[in-house]
């Protein structure tokens, strides 16, 4: 059984799939501030509803971002520790690739997500191949919407960025979701139609050197 989750957006999305990519349990909750609280119970609930134990897992798929760092790390550290103690492989997938797969359009598409600070994470994708996979042509990168509007122009845009900056980026793909879906992640990894990378976070930004406001070292 493959366990898949993504915490790179405001959503915490979890799915369980059979080795052939059939979804047997899934849930998605949108709450940008509670990834750390929501993820583990959602995994436990998925396992329970499918009647499987952690030892029945054969692999883990996790979105590696880009996305807000704090939430992103919750997913990655959960995947890595679970993979370690269960002795199973952890497959990383660029979270923008997941979103690209969520478009049913038979055209090239752009993905734009909320990078906060008035910026977007974005990437460009080819039209879908016969197996549904899409090749990433450019990105992932982080920029101000106006700075990359000319690159994205004319393409349907998928993801939260299309909703937030529709006026700058142009037409959103009205049918596509705003957030990555663990169902798509699970099926894509099970059927090998999503590119798998190491479970390393795609930060795309250097850390801000703002000092701890509080204690330098908490006791």
Residue 20 near other proteins by CB under 8 A:
no
Report in angstroms how near the CB of residue 141 gets to other proteins at its nearest: 19
Residue 58 near other proteins by CB under 8 A:
no
What lies within 8 Å, CB to CB, of 9 at 6+ separation is 67, 71, 95, 113, 114, 160, 178, 179, 180
Residue 117 near other proteins by CB under 8 A:
no
**Which strand ranges, in their side-by-side order, compose the sheet holding 59-63?**
23-30, 11-17, 2-6, 59-63, 89-93
Pick from 45, 1, 11, 5: nearest CA to 178: 11
Report in angstroms how near the CB of residue 99 gets to other proteins at its nearest: 23
Rule CB under 8 A: choose which of 21, 36, 166, 170 binds other proteins: 36
The answer, yes or no, to whether the previous bond of 136 is cis (omega within 30 of 0) is no
Stretch that binds Zn ion, among 42-50, 61-69, 128-136, 211-219 (CB under 5 A): 211-219
DSSP string, 151-214: HHTTS-EESHHHHHTHHHH--B-TTS-SS--HHHHHHHHHTT-S--B-S-----SPPP-PPPSS
Question: Is-contact 196 185, C-beta < 8 A?
Answer: no
Stretch that binds other proteins, among 13-21, 84-92, 106-114, 181-189 (CB under 8 A): 84-92
- Give which of Zn ion, other proteins, none residue 31 binds (C-beta under 5 to 8 Å, depending on kind): none
Residue 73 near other proteins by CB under 8 A:
yes
Residue 198 near other proteins by CB under 8 A:
no
Residue 209 near Zn ion by CB under 5 A:
no
* Contact positions vs Zn ion (CB under 5 A): 219
* Contact positions vs other proteins (CB under 8 A): 34, 36-41, 43-44, 53-54, 69-70, 73-74, 76-82, 84-86, 201, 203, 207-212, 214-219
């Amino acid at each position: 059984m493959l366990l898949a989750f993504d915490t790179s957006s405001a959503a915490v999305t979890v799915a369980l799939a059979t080795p052939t990519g059939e979804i047997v349990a899934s849930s998605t909750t949108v709450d940008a501030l509670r990834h750390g609280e929501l993820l583990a119970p959602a995994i436990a609930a998925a396992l329970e509803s499918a009647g499987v134990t952690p030892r029945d897992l054969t692999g883990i798929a996790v979105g590696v971002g880009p996305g807000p760092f704090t939430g992103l790390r919750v997913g990655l550290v959960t995947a890595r520790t679970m993979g370690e103690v269960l002795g199973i492989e952890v497959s990383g997938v660029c979270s923008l690739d997941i979103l690209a797969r969520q478009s049913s359009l038979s055209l090239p598409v752009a993905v734009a997500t909320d990078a906060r600070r008035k910026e977007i994470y974005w990437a460009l994708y080819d039209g879908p191949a016969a197996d549904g996979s899409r090749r990433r042509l450019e990105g992932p990168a982080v920029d101000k919407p106006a700075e990359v509007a000319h690159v994205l122009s004319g393409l349907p845009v998928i993801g939260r960025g299309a909703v937030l900056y529709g006026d700058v980026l142009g037409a959103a793909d009205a049918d596509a979701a705003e957030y990555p879906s663990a169902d798509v992640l699970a099926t894509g990894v099970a059927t090998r139609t999503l590119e798998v990378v190491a479970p390393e976070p795609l930060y795309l930004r250097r850390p801000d050197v703002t000092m701890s406001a509080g204690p330098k070292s908490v006791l």
